[in-house]
Amino acid sequence: MADMNDKSVAGRKVFFVCPSFSIESTVISRLRTMEYECYVVDDYRKAKNLMLVYKESIFYISPDSQLTRDGWKNFIKSVTDDSVFDGTDIGVISENLAPAKQEDFAKDLKLNAGFFAMLGTEKTLQEVVKSLDKLGAKGLRKYVRVSCMDDEKAELYFFTKDMKMFRFKLIDISAVGVATKLPASQGNAVFVNQLISDANLVLKRGQVPVVAKVTAIKAAPEFLLVVMMFTIDTDKSSLDQIHSYVTDTLQNNMEFAIKGFNPDKTNYDAPPKKAKDENEA
C-alpha cells in the first residue's frame, strides 16, 4: 500500500500568505479546480505555525499588505535561514510590485518556489503551475480528497422505486466520488456497477444532486464500505458545490491545526539585529 505521508505520493500542500482578492479569485481558484491542494493564510502571524505543522509544504508570499517590503524580506529570510523550516519551499507572487523593483526585492532571497508578478491571469497561472509541478505539488494523487468523518451530517441518500430510503454516511469526498458507510444489514441496497441517477449529497451548504455509479463494495467489521464515482451526467453546479465543500473543509482543518498556537509576534518591519562582534563588550 502506498504511504500517503510520502510527498512523492500524496503531493504537497500549497499555502498562499496574504494574497489579494484578485490573486485568490483567479490564480488560487484556478489551481483548486486543477486539483492542487491550496490554502489561504489571511494573517502572516499564522504562517510559521503552519510551516511547523505542515512540514515540507510550499508557501507563496504576497508582499503587498500587512508588512512593508523590507518587513516581508526579513520574514522570508527568517524562514530560509532557520533549519527548523528545512523542507519548506518559499515563493513570491505579487500584484503590486513594479517590474523595476522586483529584482531588487528578490535579491538575496532564497525563492525555491519562484517569483511571480500578476502579468495576466493565464501567464501567471502557467508559470506557477510549472513551478508547482517541478516541486512535486501533486505527487501521484490526481484529486484532492477530504475526510467527512467529523461532519456528522455529511451523507448520501437515495430512494428506491418503492420509495424506500437508504442513507450512506460519507467517509471522504473528492470532485470525482465518495467513499461511504452502509450498515451491513442493508447490503441488498447496492451492487457493483449500479447506476444511481437520483442520489443526493447532504453537505454543509445544503443538498447536492448527483448521478453516481457504485464502483466497489467491501465488507468491514460493522458496515459495508461503498465507493461511488460521479458520472458525467452530474451537473456542473453540483460539482462546483462539492469543490466548495472540499475547499471549506481544508480551510477549517488548517485553522483547527493551529488553534491555541501563539501568533508570531516578531516585528519584521524593524531592522534585523546584527550579531555582536566578539571584540565588543
Residue range 50-101, pLDDT digits in tens:
999 999 999 999 999 999 999 999 999 999 999 999 999 999 999 988 777 8
Where do the domains of the chain lie, and which CATH numbers do they carry?
A: 12-142 (3.40.50.2300), 146-236 (2.40.10.220)
pLDDT of res. 173: 97
Q: What is the pLDDT of residues 246-256, one digit of tens each?
A: 999 999 999 99
In this predicted structure, the answer to whether residue 275 has a pLDDT above a threshold of 70 is no
> Considering the entire predicted model, what is its pTM?
0.90
Exposure letters 184-213 (e unless 16+ CB within 10 A, then b): eeeeebbeeeeebeebbbbbeeeebebbbb
- On the question of pLDDT at 137 being above 90, the answer is yes
Q: With cut-offs at 50, 70 and 90, classify the pLDDT of residue 136.
A: very high
pLDDT at 40: 98
Torsion over CA of 182, 183, 189 and 195, rounded to 10 degrees? Answer: 10
Pick the more confident residue, 196 or 138: 196
